Amino acid sequence: MTSLLRTAPRALRTATLTSRAIPLIHQQFRLKHDHLNPPEGNPAVTGRSPPEPPREEAIALKNNTLSGSYLGTTRRLPEFNLNDKVVLVTGAARGLGLVQSEALLEAGATVYALDRLEEPSADFYRVQKRAAEELGTTLHYRQIDVRDVPQLNEIIQSISESQGKMDGLITAAGIQQETSALDYSQKDANMMLEVNVTGTLMAAQAVAKEMIRHGRGGSIAMIASMSGSVANKGLICPVYNASKAGVLQLARNLAMEWGIHGIRVNTISPGYIVTAMVEELFIKYPERRHDWPTQNMLGKLSQPGEYRGAGVFLISDASSFMTGSDLKIDGGHTAW
């Protein structure tokens, strides 16, 4: 098998590895790596300051050919450092939620990923392993559907008790359905709103209660969408768009109510993101791969990694005077 792969055309080797090797790799990870008992890095410690700049910085500052910038140390934008923070991310078993989790880990946070999947994606294990071995922190996993409010509350309270703090939340759990308004069923509409709006509220509520109990304040960032501000041309998603508009308004009201407790609430409104789900959509609607980039000012589609900095910014003290605001990252789609 190995020799055949070596002599096969590159495209065939790639297709073979994609279709056969990835499930095998996932299975091997499951045998050796329990996502519920992750490899651990340094725990979150209250009051711990950012790390001192590395010794290499002093050398680099004397050598004009090397970079002298080390973000997140005592000398370089320490307000971005999350080394003493405990942050939850819903919908983080894969996709945008997992990308946000990895960025938070890189900034030093201890992260708890919450998702309804019994087993997270194969890439989750890579991030979990990297957190402990390269980043000195820990990525935990808790299986929960945001619609199961009693269990959601129990899990969040348990995390708060075990860590002795609760500092941040990114709500990335959400579902999408492309159905015309004339064809939408009550059941499907209710499910969309229950996950995207009520689920977001319930997660934020549970986290806010723990933040208030610990008396340290905190920051909540909700993944909304540019679709909460405009009707997407040619994309028939009336209830999804309404749900994201609901997230925008929900965040403003929570910011108003919880500001007195030092809790900030903001939203991120992404444009079109090329995810595995969207790639499958392009197979069904190939014209969208060409049409969607023409609808924004940059003439391209975004990648999940282009939103990494936004989540870290909103959770960190770098945005300490920002609340009730929406951070649009849509390539100028809604600014025409």
* pLDDT at residue 28, as a whole number: 57
| 257 pLDDT more than 80 | yes
| pLDDT range class, residue 69, cuts 50, 70, 90 | confident
Residue 43: exposed, middle, or buried by beta-carbon count in 10 A (0-12, 13-18, 19+)? middle
Strand partners, 328: 269
Residue range 83-116, pLDDT digits in tens: 999 999 999 999 999 999 999 999 999 999 999 9
Residue range 31-55, pLDDT digits in tens: 677 888 999 999 988 888 899 999 8
Enumerate the active-site residues: 240, 244
Percent of the chain residues topping a pLDDT of 90: 77
What are the backbone angles phi and psi of residue 179, rounded to the nearest 5°? -145, 140
Tokens coding 269: 């409104």
Tokens coding 144: 């929960």
CA 166/CA 156 separation, integer angstroms: 9
CA 276/CA 279 separation, integer angstroms: 5
- The domains located in the chain, with CATH, are 1-32 (no CATH), 35-48+83-335 (3.40.50.720), 52-77 (no CATH)
- Which residue is associated with the tokens 């050919």? 65
Residue range 184-232, pLDDT digits in tens: 999 999 999 999 999 999 999 999 999 999 999 999 999 999 999 999 9
Beta strands in the chain (DSSP E): 86-90, 110-115, 139-143, 168-171, 218-223, 263-270, 326-329
Closest CA to 258 of 220, 313, 203, 312: 220
